[in-house]
Amino acid sequence: MKPIGTIRELLEIAGETGEKCSSLFLAREAEATGATREEVREKMARTLQVMRQSVEKGLRPGTKSVSGLTGGDAWRVREAGRTGKLLMGGFMNTACARALAVAEQNAAMGRIVAAPTAGSCGILPGVLLTVGEAVGAGEKELVSALLTAAGFGRVIALNASISGAEAGCQAECGSAAAMAAAAAVELAGGTPEMSAEACALALKNFLGLVCDPVAGLVEVPCVKRNAFCAAAAIVAADMALAGVKSVIPPDEVISAMREIGLALPASLRETSEGGLAATPTGKKIAWELFGKE
Partner 1 sequence: MNLFDVVGPIMIGPSSSHTAGAVQLGRISRALLGEPPVFAVVRFYGSFARTGKGHGTDKAFVGGLLGMGMDDERLRNSLILAREAGLEVTFDPDREERPNRHPNSVTAVLTGASGRKVTVSGASIGGGSVIISRVDEYDVSFTGEYCVFIVLHRDTPGMVSRVTGELAKSGVNIAQMKVYRSDRGGHAIMLIETDQPVDPETARSVAGLHDVFGTMSADRV
Contact yes or no for 55/78 (Cβ under 8 A): no
Sequence letter at residue 225: R
Under the binding rule (CB under 8 A), the answer on residue 290 touching partner 1 is yes
Binder of partner 1 out of 17, 64, 114, 265 (CB under 8 A): 114
- Shortest approach of partner 1 to residue 259 CB, angstroms? 20
Q: Binding pattern to partner 1, positions 207-246, x when CB under 8 A?
A: --------xxxxx---------------------------
Segment near partner 1 (CB under 8 A), from 195-203, 238-246, 255-263, 284-292?
284-292
Q: Is the peptide bond before 213 cis (omega within 30 degrees of 0)?
A: no
Contact yes or no for 10/4 (Cβ under 8 A): yes
Burial class of residue 138 in the structure, from the number of CB atoms within 10 Å of its CB (0-12 exposed, 13-18 middle, 19+ buried): exposed
- Shortest approach of partner 1 to residue 63 CB, angstroms? 11
CA gap 123, 204 in Å, rounded: 16
Closer CB to partner 1, residue 52 or residue 245? 52
Tell which residue, 218, 163, 160, 156, has the closest CA to residue 182: 156
CA gap 208, 282 in Å, rounded: 21
Sequence letter at residue 131: V
DSSP state of 214: G
Binder of partner 1 out of 126, 132, 151, 275 (CB under 8 A): 151
Can you say whether the dihedral through the CA atoms of 87, 90, 93, 97 is positive or negative?
Answer: positive
DSSP state of 189: T
Measured CA to CA in angstroms, residue 4 lies from 13, 51, 200 at distances of 8, 26, 17
Under the binding rule (CB under 8 A), the answer on residue 74 touching partner 1 is no
Under the binding rule (CB under 8 A), the answer on residue 282 touching partner 1 is no
Q: Binding pattern to partner 1, positions 6-45, x when CB under 8 A?
A: -------------------x---x--xx------x--xx-
Binder of partner 1 out of 63, 93, 94, 105 (CB under 8 A): 105
Interacting positions 80-99 with partner 1 (CB under 8 A) = none
Binder of partner 1 out of 109, 242, 247, 280 (CB under 8 A): 109
Q: Which contiguous run of DSSP H or E holds residue 54? A: helix 37-58
Closer CB to partner 1, residue 71 or residue 190? 71
Can you say whether the dihedral through the CA atoms of 130, 133, 137, 143 is positive or negative?
Answer: positive
Binder of partner 1 out of 74, 92, 95, 107 (CB under 8 A): 107
Residues within the interface to partner 1 (CB under 8 A) = 25, 29, 32-33, 40, 43-44, 46-47, 50, 65-67, 105-119, 121, 124, 146-147, 149-151, 153-154, 157-158, 162-163, 165, 179, 215-219, 272, 289-290, 292
